[in-house]
Structure 1
Amino acid sequence: MDEGGLSYTRPGRHRRVLLADVLDYKEARRSQRRQGLDELTRLTEESGLYGD
Structure 2
Amino acid sequence: MKILDEGNIPFARPGRHRRVLLADVLDYQEQRRSQRRRGLDELTEESGLYGN
What interval of TM-score do these two structures reach, taking the shorter chain for normalisation? 0.7 to 0.9
Corresponding residue to 1:13 among 12, 16, 19: 16
Q: Which ranges in structure 2 are unaligned for 5 or more consecutive residues? A: none
TM superposition outliers: structure 1 runs of 4+ over 6 Å = none
RMSD over equivalenced CA pairs, Å: 1.5
Report % sequence identity.
67
Q: Which ranges in structure 1 are unaligned for 5 or more consecutive residues? A: none
The corresponding residue for 2:25 is 22
Bigger radius of gyration among the two: 1
- Paired residues in the alignment total 48
1:36–1:20: structure 2 CA closer, same or farther, 3 Å change rule?
A: same
Q: Give the TM-score, by structure 1 length.
A: 0.83
